[in-house]
Amino acid sequence: MQAQAEGIRTVFSDPTNFNVKHPLYSPWTLWFDSPATKGRNLPQTPVSSFPQTPAPPTPGATAAQGWMEDIKRVISFDSVEEFWGLYNHIVPPSQLPQKANYYLFKEGIIPAWEDEANKNGGKWSIQLPKEKNRHNVDKMWLYTMLAAIGETFDPSPTSGESLEPSQHSLITGVIVSTRPQFYRLSIWTRLAPIGAGGEDDKLRERIETVGRHFKTSVLGYSESQKLAAPLSTEVEFLSHKDSEKKGKAAKKIIV
């Protein structure tokens, strides 16, 4: 064991000749779309490069496929070192055109609510006025990505022993969106509380912990800070099923 440990060179001890890298909890894929990417025919489109699901297509899945033609798969990575190589060569949110989105999702999960991993879930999100946050948004997005790939959003990603390993963590992906007046950051979760009851209460608590971590450690607000204002929202959670019910009173959770 001693000999093995001595042979290990990280990027810190030898930046040009390291022989080990830091694997991530899960591999991740970065996706992008903007009005300019719509209808572009690329050699590598997500629909054709993505493994087809064996299940018969449902109306939802078909709709998702149409939308998926407009979203571009950028790259996948599975180590800390590769993440930073990408980060250092990609355009930060403050420099993106309007109506653009980055989606960083676990490999194998399509960034759409129709995906098996997302359909019973929901999202934490916050909307921030653009003018005031032009200088913050890049750091907020970086910290959001780091909490996602470092797997620190979910306090207990390994809970639920009966589930598949890939099911353990609540987080499926994170999104940053640029709009003419604001930015939006979102954290997507695999599950969402549906009502009341023992297991559901536990899940609700776990979801709320994710939201509080997002608000305080990632975005840098204090726990009790009120954020809602013209063009901005609180840090709020909504299940994808409730998001669909436009108009009806949705059960939001706010931290």
Partner 1 sequence: GPLDISAAKRDNSAAPLSALATAKNIERLQDVEYPEGVRSPREDLNKDAKDGKFRYDRDFLMQFMQLCKEKPLNLPPLDILGIEPVDQASFNMTRGGSGRHRQASGT
**Footprint of partner 1 on this chain (CB under 8 A)?**
1, 4-5, 8, 10-13, 15-26, 32-34, 36-37, 40, 42, 44, 72, 74-75, 77, 79-92, 95-97, 100, 143, 146-147, 149-152, 157-158, 165, 217
Is the Cβ of residue 130 or residue 251 nearer to partner 1 in the bound state?
130
Show Cβ contacts of residue 174 under 8 Å, excluding neighbours closer than 6 positions.
Answer: 103, 104, 105, 144, 145, 148, 185, 186, 187, 188
CB of 219 to partner 1, least distance (A): 13
- Least Å distance between CB 129 and partner 1? 18
Rounded to 10 degrees, the C-alpha dihedral 39/45/46/48 comes to: 120
Q: How many CB atoms lie within 10 A of CB 5?
A: 7
Q: Compute the least distance from the CB of residue 20 to partner 1, in Å.
A: 5
Give whichever of 134 and 184 is closer to partner 1, judged by the CB atom: 134
Q: Which is nearer to partner 1, 204 or 213 (CB)?
A: 213
Q: Is the distance from CB of 86 to CB of 75 less than 8 angstroms?
A: yes
Closest separation in Å from C-beta 236 to partner 1: 23
- Do 29 and 76 touch, CB atoms closer than 8 A? yes
Q: Is 31 helix (H, G, I), strand (E, B) or coil?
A: strand
**Closer by beta carbon to partner 1, 75 or else 231:** 75
Give the number of other Cβ atoms within 10 Å of residue 122's Cβ: 26
